[in-house]
Chains A and B, each alone.
Chain A
Amino acid sequence: MTIDLPTAFRIRHLRDESPTVRTFILDGALHAEPGQFVMVWIPRVNEKPFSLVDDAPITLTIARVGPFTEAAHWLREGDRLWVRGPYGRGFAPLPRPAVLVGGGYGAAPLAFLARRLRAQGVEVSVALGAKCARDLVLVERFQAAGCAVHPATEDGSLGHRGLATDVAARLLDKHPDAALYACGPEAMLERLARLCREWGTPGQFSMERLMKCGLGVCGSCDYGGLLVCRDGPVFSAEQVLGA
């Protein structure tokens, strides 16, 4: 069931992931697939799309990057946040070993997916990339779900020095029958989509675009004729390479 008008929820719990990233746990639940997103409204401020980190309770991880997220970070436990959704087409978990690749805040929808996959008894390896150790988010969530986490940092402050894509290639080498799920910067997703095509690996990629309606009518999230809000945000390797 999708809620189409913004609906108020109370913030039950706040958790700092890094100096600029905070997780919001709300006092209500939705029924969503991992990879789906919600539109989050703060009255008289703005409304923006966010991937769900969990649907029950509604959990969002928000990085402070602009005026809207700044306003969100001012909120305290007990304050209200308005949510409509869930929207879009999420990940379709496959019954085979999973390699998850998250770049930066791209970890958010993957944390939800990891929990779902683990509940189905799937072996999950996660490559998480960030600039430095401090910027890695949701690591404990992946670990608590029973995933093997392989960090990659550009400055080498934790794990592999370099990109998450390097780690992903190594993980796919180890699990040739794996499916790959990824979310992060577009260049990273395109590189991974090419990798999937070369190796014949099924891949699912969560894309990000400016969204206005979230409902598939305004066309602001156009992705080469695809609508990120309605046809995605999760796309196949073919769609990513063709768009």
Chain B
Amino acid sequence: MTTPDLSVSLCGIFLRNPLVLASGILGTSAELLERVARCGAGAVTSKSCGPTPRAGHPNPTVLAWGHGLINAVGLSNPGADEEARILRDAKARLAPLGVPLIASIFAETVQGFGEVARKVAEAAPDFIEVNISCPNVEAEFGRPFAADARDAAAVTAVVRRAVSLPVIVKLSPNVPDIAAIARAVESEGADAISAINTLGPGMVIDTDSGKPILANRTGGVSGPAIRPIAVRCVYDVSRAVRVPVIGIGGVACGRDAAEMIMAGATAVGIGTAVYDRGPEVFAAIAEELLAFMATHGYTAVSQMRGLAHDD
């Protein structure tokens, strides 16, 4: 029997396995990105950076609430200039390992996305991921850009014009019709879509003091509790567009990764599972996915992709 092949192609770029470090988890330094790559990730995403340095919210910023995490870190980042330096260092460390680097960006304005994308592109990451779905960044009507098809499309168009790298647009689950947003960003030149960002915002209240625990009061909910929603979003998006989808949301084991791929994902993001299983989770899930494929007779990841779509 042939050993199953875990490798996938994302926008023509080779990933040794479909497991991608999701943005916002451990991606703060070149050393940590290298470590996650050494722990078995197929690709790694840096923490989102914006135009200027940002301290983020005071603590508490992240809580393990029992069925996953809730966070309001507040997009703390060193700003695009310093981030470009980190990304260059990360790229040099990742190149010999054959692990692609995804640079995540955000901005407060549509034009700002273009400026950050240009700066970050100088570090030659393999992809740019456009984070239009962080609940901390709002367009003019007090919503993330991902909440409106026109805003999402406008940001995509600006980034598309600014760089020649493959552009991934990260969508929010907090919309009535995620497929419509996906079509809008695809039509403006998105090369891939990642879905989903955190769900919510949610809130956890300390009943002894009667106060919300997060300093920001509310935060994005992640982890196993949101997986069924993520799987449905990936299913909807991959039906609506032709570009590849990175499925993110509550994936904690090899079977979860297979489920995401069956929903239509080309690659699978891992975030909160790092809390439960440590950075070693990547090699562990890759091993589990391999075993799952062997058991079910799949020899390539593509054989599982979109299986849920067959009527």
Interchain CB contact under 8 A, B272 and A47: no
> Which chain B residues numbered 49 to 70 have a C-beta less than 8 Å away from chain A?
56, 58-66, 69
Alpha-carbon gap, A215 to B275, bound state (A): 6
Given contacts A6-B213, A222-B31, A230-B278, contact A217 B59 (CB under 8 A): no
Which stretch from A36-44, A136-144, A168-176, A189-197 is at the chain B interface? Answer: A36-44
The answer to whether the Cβ of A29 comes within 8 Å of any Cβ in the partner chain is no
Interchain CB contact under 8 A, A219 and B59: no
The answer to whether the Cβ of B218 comes within 8 Å of any Cβ in the partner chain is no
Q: Tally chain A residues at the interface, Cβ within 8 Å.
A: 28
Alpha-carbon gap, A222 to B30, bound state (A): 10
Interchain CB contact under 8 A, B274 and A5: no
Shortest distance in angstroms between A231's beta carbon and chain B's nearest beta carbon?
9
Contact pick for A5, options B204, B215, B275, CB 8 Å: B204
Which residue, A6, A213, A216, A218, has most C-beta atoms of chain B within 10 A?
A218
Alpha-carbon gap, A41 to B29, bound state (A): 27
Q: Which residue of A lies closest to B63 (CB)?
A: A5
Shortest distance in angstroms between B44's beta carbon and chain A's nearest beta carbon?
12
Which B residues lie within 8 Å of A47 (CB)? 58-60, 215
Contact pick for A218, options B62, B204, B215, B279, CB 8 Å: B62
The answer to whether the Cβ of A19 comes within 8 Å of any Cβ in the partner chain is no
Interchain CB contact under 8 A, B69 and A217: yes
The answer to whether the Cβ of B237 comes within 8 Å of any Cβ in the partner chain is no
Given contacts A48-B59, A216-B274, A219-B26, contact A5 B32 (CB under 8 A): no
Residues of A within 8 A of B (CB): 4-8, 39, 41, 43-44, 46-48, 80, 82, 212-220, 222, 224-225, 227, 230
Q: What 10 pairs between A and B have smallest CB-CB spacing?
A: A225-B31, A219-B28, A213-B62, A47-B59, A8-B208, A4-B64, A43-B211, A43-B209, A47-B60, A219-B26
Contacts beyond the supplied A4-B64, A43-B206, A213-B61: 11 A-B pairs with Cβ under 8 Å: A41-B213, A46-B59, A48-B59, A212-B73, A216-B279, A217-B274, A219-B28, A219-B47, A222-B31, A224-B31, A225-B34
The contact sample of 26 A-B pairs, CB cut-off 8 A, is A5-B63, A5-B65, A8-B206, A8-B209, A39-B60, A43-B209, A46-B215, A47-B215, A48-B59, A82-B208, A212-B73, A215-B62, A215-B64, A215-B69, A217-B26, A217-B271, A217-B272, A217-B274, A218-B26, A218-B61, A218-B73, A219-B27, A219-B28, A219-B47, A220-B28, A225-B29
